[in-house]
Structure formats: C-alpha cells, structure tokens
Amino acid sequence: MLRAIAESGVLRAAVQPGSPPFGTANPAGNLSGYCVDLLNGLTQQLQAQLGRPIRLDLSAAEVSNRFSLVQAGTVQIECGPNTLRSDIEGVLFSAPFFLTGVQLLAAADTAEQFNALGTLTGARIGVLRDTVTEQVIRQRYPAAQIVTLRGDTARTAGFQALRSGAIDLFAGDGVLLLGEALQTSSSLAGAGYTLLPPEPLSCDPYGMLLPATDSTWRNTVNQFLTSQAARQAGDRWFTQDLRPYLFLTLDRCVAE
C-alpha cells in the first residue's frame, strides 16, 4: 500500500458524512469532521515518510458500503464509527482511535418514564439494523419493542421518529447520539434530549478500516494514531460539550 501511495502520490480515503462529529457534509458536499482531520494528519505523515507530495482523495462512505469500499480497493482507508469486529472478511481494523458505548436517547420531557437500568418492558426502542448496537439492545432489553431502521438515512430517520413520538427511545453509540443532537444546540439539554443511562451499556472501540492483506500499512496507520497530530485532532473536536461524556465512558470501561 505504501508503494502504491508513493507511486501515485494519492491517498484514497473515505469518511461517513452522516456521523457527526466524525464526519459531516455541507450542502455542497464538502466533508469535515474528526475523521477528516485525522486523515489530513495521516497524509502529512506520509509526505514526510515517503519524501514526496501526497494528495488526499476523500470520498463519502455509508454504513451499507463502508466495508466493500475497502474490500474492493476503491479506498485504502476508511474512517468512521466502526466498532472493532473479527467477522468481516477482507478488512483489517486499525488500533482503536476512539472509545464509546451503547446508550439510549430520550426526549427530556419523557425521560423520567424510562428506567434504563430496568427492563424497559414495552418501550419502543429504535435501533439501526444489523449493528453491534442492535445486538446489545436485544440482549439487554428482551421485553422491549425493538423497531429496526436500515439504509443510509436510518440514523436521521431514528431521530425523526423520536421527535415525532413514533418511538420512545433511540439506541446508538453515545458519541453519535450526542453529535447529532448537538447539531442544533450547544448542549444536550438545550436540544431537548437526555442520554440514558449516564454511563454506557457497553464498551465499543472504533478502528479505521484497512485492507486485510497489508499489515505494514496497518502499522503505519497505528503509528500515526499515537502521534501528537492525532491527539491534537481529538482536542479540536472533543471540546467542553463532549468531555463529560468521554470521561464517564472511560471510567466505566476502565472499571470493566
């Protein structure tokens, strides 16, 4: 992979635009977010390592095609909220670059009706289909009514369903629920939502998606993820609004 990048002068990468703060797109389609900053930093590292200019060729990925983009060689790396897994052929995960966990988003004015530490019997819980989150929710709340959502706009549909009252709770990785809610307000309370329970139900590390056949490329990416440039990217995106969530998640997962 490094040889191909050196010969072409291009790093082909993808980001999921519907996953703030990891990736967003403006109306013109321009991508931004934590993953974009990480990939820009990786590009700069490759320039220094390979001794030639490297251009970042960035494209959009979706939940439905994120693995196939890497498997087919369309991109050399994909960055997004990808929980580490061992059952995806043709894909290698980088070392973890973020830690999150499953939580439930509730409307602030109805949250007291739901005890997330209980059984949530009969509660209508929306969740993205065929995800790690769905597995966690079905195991944790077998007496709840699980409403599955699928497709590239499923997360947006989940928020709309919660706002309209079609579901009582929307399950997802806490950082993604926060990221979406904070698009409309500077605080979760200001957006009219709350997270249940305060600490996540699971501990789910995210990794970047890489071709399974190139361990040297994985080592290069992992080296970047420990760099000062990678830490600075995190500091830019996970500011005061998100830090309490990060600390709660870290405390819970370290204790586990």
166 pLDDT more than 90: yes
Six-digit token string for 57: 């060729």
Q: Peptide bond before 205: cis, by omega within 30 degrees of 0? A: no
The residue to which tokens 């809610």 are assigned? 181
Q: What angle do CA 113, 117, 122 make, to 5 degrees?
A: 50
For residue 190, the model assigns a pLDDT of 66
What count of Cα atoms within 13 Å lies in the side-chain half-sphere of residue 194? Answer: 13
Top-confidence residue, 184 or 202? 202
For residue 67, the model assigns a pLDDT of 95
Phi first, then psi, for residue 164 (nearest 5°) are: -80, -10
- On whether the CB atoms of residues 93 and 84 are closer than 8 A, the answer is yes
For residue 186, the model assigns a pLDDT of 55
- Residue 251's pLDDT band (boundaries 50, 70, 90)? confident
Count of Cβ atoms closer than 10 Å to residue 75 Cβ: 22
- Residue 151's pLDDT band (boundaries 50, 70, 90)? confident
Please write the tens of the pLDDT for every residue from 185-210. Answer: 656 666 788 899 988 998 889 999 99
Report the 3 state secondary structure along 193-242. EEEECCCCCCCEEECCEEECCCHHHHHHHHHHHCCHHHHHHHHHHCCCCC
Please write the tens of the pLDDT for every residue from 101-137. Answer: 999 999 988 889 999 999 999 999 999 988 889 999 9
- On whether the CB atoms of residues 11 and 77 are closer than 8 A, the answer is yes
pTM score above 0.75:
yes
**d(C-alpha 35, C-alpha 78), whole Å:** 9
Q: What angle do CA 22, 123, 107 make, to 5 degrees?
A: 50
Top-confidence residue, 245 or 1? 1
For residue 187, the model assigns a pLDDT of 61
Question: Any idea how long the chain is?
Answer: 256
- Residue 13's pLDDT band (boundaries 50, 70, 90)? very high
For residue 63, the model assigns a pLDDT of 84
- Sign of CA pseudo-dihedral 214, 228, 52, 76: positive
Which helix (H) or strand (E) element contains residue 77? strand 77-79
Q: What's the whole-number mean pLDDT along residues 133-156?
A: 90
For residue 95, the model assigns a pLDDT of 96
Give the residue from 117, 92, 94 showing the smallest Cα distance to 104: 117
184 pLDDT more than 70: no
Edge-to-edge, what's the strand order for the sheet holding 209-211? 55-60, 10-15, 77-79, 209-211, 91-93
Top-confidence residue, 184 or 56? 56
Q: What's the whole-number mean pLDDT along residues 151-175?
A: 89
